Amino acid sequence: MEYEIIVKIFQGLQSLQPIPAPVVTIGTFDGVHLGHLQILQRLNQLASHNGGESVMITFYPHPRMVLYPDDQDLRLLNSQEEKTEKLREAGLQNLIVIPFTREFSRLSSLEFVRNILVNTLGMKNLVIGHDHHFGRNREGGFSDLIEYSPVYGFEVEEVPALELDEIPVSSSKIRYAITSGNIRLANIYLGYKYMLTGTVIKGEGRGHKLGFPTANIHPSFPYKLIPGNGVYAAQLSLEGQIFPAVVNIGTKPTFNGRSVAIEAHIPGFSGDLYGKDLTLFFENKIRNEEKFPSVDALRLQIAADVLSAMKMLEVT
Alpha carbons 253 and 165: distance in angstroms, whole number: 37
Domains and CATH numbers, the chain: 8-167 (3.40.50.620), 193-312 (2.40.30.30)
Alpha carbons 91 and 89: distance in angstroms, whole number: 5
Alpha-carbon dihedral sign for residues 66, 191, 85, 279? positive
| Backbone φ, ψ for residue 107 (5° rounding) | -65, 130
Spatial CA neighbour of 265 closest among 211, 213, 301, 308: 213
**How many alpha carbons lie under 13 Å from residue 247 in its C-beta half-sphere?**
30
Cα-based distances in Å from 260 to 51, 289, 291: 51, 11, 14
Bridging pattern class, strands 230-238 and 241-250: antiparallel
Please, are residues 134 and 112 in contact by the beta-carbon 8 Å criterion? yes
Partners of 60 in the β-ladder: 99
- pLDDT tens digits for the chain (316 residues)? 444 456 699 999 999 999 999 999 999 999 999 999 999 999 999 999 999 999 999 999 988 888 888 887 889 999 999 999 999 999 999 999 999 999 999 999 999 999 999 999 999 999 999 888 898 888 989 999 999 999 999 999 999 999 988 899 999 999 999 999 999 999 999 999 999 999 999 887 777 778 788 999 999 999 999 999 999 999 999 999 999 999 999 998 888 877 899 999 999 898 889 999 999 999 999 999 999 999 999 999 999 999 999 999 997 5
